Structure 1
Amino acid sequence: MSKATVGTGDVPVAGDKYTWMKTSEMPLQDFLTRYKPSMVQNDGTKPWIWAKGSNALKGDANEVEAHEEAQALLKEVTERIKVIQEDPSIPTRSNKKTGARSKKELREEAQAEASNKLKEIAIRYGYVCGKWLIFAPSDKVDLIWTNIANSLVYGPLSTTAASLAKVSTSPEHETPNYQHIICVYVPDVYDKEAVVEVMKVLLRNHGAALSGVKSDLYTAIGAASRPIDTISVY
């Protein structure tokens, strides 16, 4: 099964025809009808369709320094996990009699430490925005996206911290069982109460198949493609 991936360096641009904001001339319903994710093909220039709510993402983040420090941490932890995996003296299973800890226990410990350190880096540099991830099949993505976009602007999501949403467009070439990804952004992924409130609306009002919540810093440093990918925000 092929899935869209969450990219970095992509931001909604006012005036772009694939971005809807409250200042847009086109009504939201017309926008959603004209630009359906199942119909818009990504030729390398239009990977996302955007809808912006009233809430704003947090600004003034020192992204460059946060990236550098987080990348260094990711490299360090990736190497640490590799050593654990390849060390023949570390057993696959723990042994209560000898006190030996298993590879799995040591990996999880390293990942938990990295999660805490990444959170500290994100907060220190103000780079705390993030998103809920939702995967949707091609035959259902238009309806799911329309409902979420409407909710973000006029419905129950508009009363939460949710500030922005995007959906991946279709691949240029036919891809069997392709899964679109929808991201619903929150200004502070470490504000657990606000993040959970968004989650409840997505589940209760939209029946969304949530894949998880992820910090933008995780996405930016490519944590999902490394042995550290099991790190979670909470």
Structure 2
Amino acid sequence: MTSTALDLTETFSDESSFYGDENEQARLEEQVSTYNIEPYWSEYHPRLLSTIQNELRAPSTPKSEPSDSAMPDQGTDDLPSRLPLNKRGANESVTSFLARLPPSKTVLPGKDPWIWARGKANLTKNLESRDEATFIRKGTELLRAFEDTLSELRAAHDKSGAKTTAALTRKLTPLRRELEKNIFALARETGVIVGKWMLFPSPSEVDSTWKTLVTAMDEGTIRADAKVAADNASGSGQSRLICVYTPDFEDKKDVKEVLLMLQDQGLFEPRNGPIFYKCDAYTLLEITSKNEYGLKASLYSSRDLLK
């Protein structure tokens, strides 16, 4: 073996300091083991120019092919082979779109099983211009810093021998408010400002609910963009998620107006219980209803806004 080959072997061996000391290697290994790629595949990858171009060239793949009468007839731009894989074509009629991609039967490949419909709000620019990578990185840092502080406070509380958690709660409440404030400020800074009302129709009702919504969006009576989970997005028999987007989660007036539009179209009935609004910022950080930070996962409920 030559001297150069030997040097390279030693440089890149597991025992080499090329990768840093033991602490640095442990830190890097922890980052790799805890890194979550799902936000990239579910939110960022579908909006890359290369992905969009590929979708425009790819045929749709519903479980059952729609009849010829369901296909658009507006010209060669809307030939089935040229229609977007998971969204309505530029010149495609609502009838054709719904027949081609029925949520109850459509299976989409990859890790983005959503069917999109663009409405009068046209949030494409908001979704494509935001810096998701920076938001996720810095947002994760905020959450980890809060976790560290939380651990320290809990350890001190346990050591004090206090019989109740009242003192700990008093310390945590302002910290949670500060965390929420910092996440929202970061969302504004990186352009991650859209949010959505969430509907959960049953599998037997998802097609009719989606039809009502898309038709109202096309007519302008619901000013929003929306997506619905395809058939392979959840387990059999589970409710389907429909997200109805607004441009800015902090624009409470607009959020309420879209809610009233949904109510006017019969897409939810207050007597059947509330629906909830969540910002994409929390979705990207995977802050769910049972998060360990004590944050309220939904920003608004229909019950609160309709009081």
- 1:181-220 correspondence runs (5 A): 181-208=241-268, 211-220=275-284
Do the aligned partners of 1:78 and 1:226 also contact (CA within 8 Å) in 2?
no
What is the aligned partner in structure 1 of residue 237 from structure 2? 177
% identity of equivalent residues: 24
Aligned to 1:16: 84
2:181 aligned partner: 116
Give the distance between the partners of 2:274 and 2:241, measured in 1 at CA: 10
Match of 1:63 among 123, 128, 132: 132
AA in 2 matched with 1:127: V
Selected match of 2:197 from 105, 128, 132: 132
Higher relative contact order (Cα pairs below 8 Å, separated by 6+ residues): 1
CA distance in 2, matches of 1:40, 1:128: 29
Q: Distance in 1 between matches of 2:185 and 2:168?
A: 28
Deviates most, 213-222 or 53-62: 53-62
131-140 vs 217-226, greater mean Cα deviation: 217-226
- State how far apart, in whole Å, the 2-side matches of 1:217 and 1:181 are: 18
1:108 is displaced (CA, Å) by: 4.3
- Structure 1 stretches (4+) deviating beyond 6 angstroms? none
- Residue 193 of structure 1 aligns to a residue whose secondary structure is helix
Q: Which amino acid is 1:171 matched to? A: N
RMSD between aligned alpha carbons?
A: 3.0
CA distance in 1, matches of 2:152, 2:280: 28
- Cα deviation, residue 20, structure 1: 0.8
CA contact (8 A) 1:115 1:231 kept: no
Contact 1:135/1:181 (CA < 8 Å) preserved in 2?
A: yes
Greater helix proportion:
2
Letter in 2 for 1:8: E
Q: In the TM superposition, what is the alpha-carbon distance from 1:180 to its structure 2 partner? A: 0.8
Secondary structure at 1:132 match in 2: strand
1:222 aligns with one of 286, 289, 298: 286
Indicate the residue corresponding to 2:227 in structure 1. 166
Q: Which structure 1 residue ranges, 5 or more long, are not aligned?
A: 95-100
Q: In 2, Cα distance between the equivalents of 1:181 and 1:55?
A: 20
- Long gaps (5+) in structure 2: 1-37, 57-82, 301-307
CA shift, 1:221, in A, is 2.0
Partner of 1:72: 141
Give the Cα separation in 2 of the matches to 1:32 and 1:68: 38
Amino acid of the structure 2 residue aligned with 1:218: Y
1:60: how far off?
3.7
1:114 partner amino acid: L
**Separation in structure 1 between the aligned mates of residue 114 and residue 189 of structure 2, nearest angstrom:** 30
Aligned residue for 1:18, secondary structure, equals coil
Asked whether the equivalents of residues 128 and 216 of structure 1 are also in contact (C-alpha less than 8 Å), the reply is yes
Q: Provide, for residues 36-72 of structure 1, a one-character-per-residue CA deviation record: whole Å limited to 9, x for no partner.
A: 1111134545611111113232364333322222111
Query: Partner of 1:52 in structure 2?
Result: 118
Which letter maps to 1:182? Answer: I
What CA distance in whole angstroms lies between the structure 2 residues aligned with 1:91 and 1:135? 42
CA distance in 2, matches of 1:121, 1:45: 26
Contact 2:86 2:108 survives alignment (8 Å): no
1:83 is displaced (CA, Å) by 5.0
Contact residue 229 and residue 240 of structure 2 kept, 8 A: yes
Larger Rg: 2
Match of 1:98 in 2: none
* Conserved 8 A contact 2:103-2:228: yes
Q: Give the TM-score, by structure 1 length.
A: 0.77
